[in-house]
Amino acid sequence: MAGQANSRDVVQRPDGSWAVTRPDADRALYTADTQADAVRRASELLQRDGGGELRIHGVDGQVRDQRTIAPGNDPTPPKG
């Protein structure tokens, strides 16, 4: 699955919390109380991992938003 290697999904769990997952993964990478927190963390993870696609699912399970996250790997990050 070359196209999905660098993608993350934000989905609601049965208990009402929100999870950041990879396609075909059995476990969540991160869980949060709010969808906004899960989206923020998923974006950070994708930036760290070289960019990719972020799919945000609504409470009905359907994809409601899809974003392309740019790589965040700066070869010369600022010091301090």
Q: What is the structure's pLDDT at 2?
A: 43
Task: Examine residue 57 and state whether it is found in any structural domain, yes or no.
Answer: yes
Contacts of 62 (CB under 8 A, 6+ apart): none
pLDDT of residue 80: 57
Domain that holds residue 23: 2-69
What's the pTM value of the predicted model, to 2 decimals? Answer: 0.82
**pLDDT tens-place values along the chain, 80 residues long:** 344 569 999 999 999 999 999 998 889 999 999 999 999 999 999 999 999 999 999 999 999 999 999 987 555 555 65
pLDDT, residue 3, reads 45
Q: What is the 3-state secondary structure (H, E, C) of 23-75?
A: CCCCCCCEEECCHHHHHHHHHHHHHHCCCEEEEEECCCCCEEEEEEECCCCCC
What is the reported pLDDT for 79? Answer: 66
Domain membership of residue 78 (yes or no) is no
**Is residue 77 situated within a structural domain?**
no
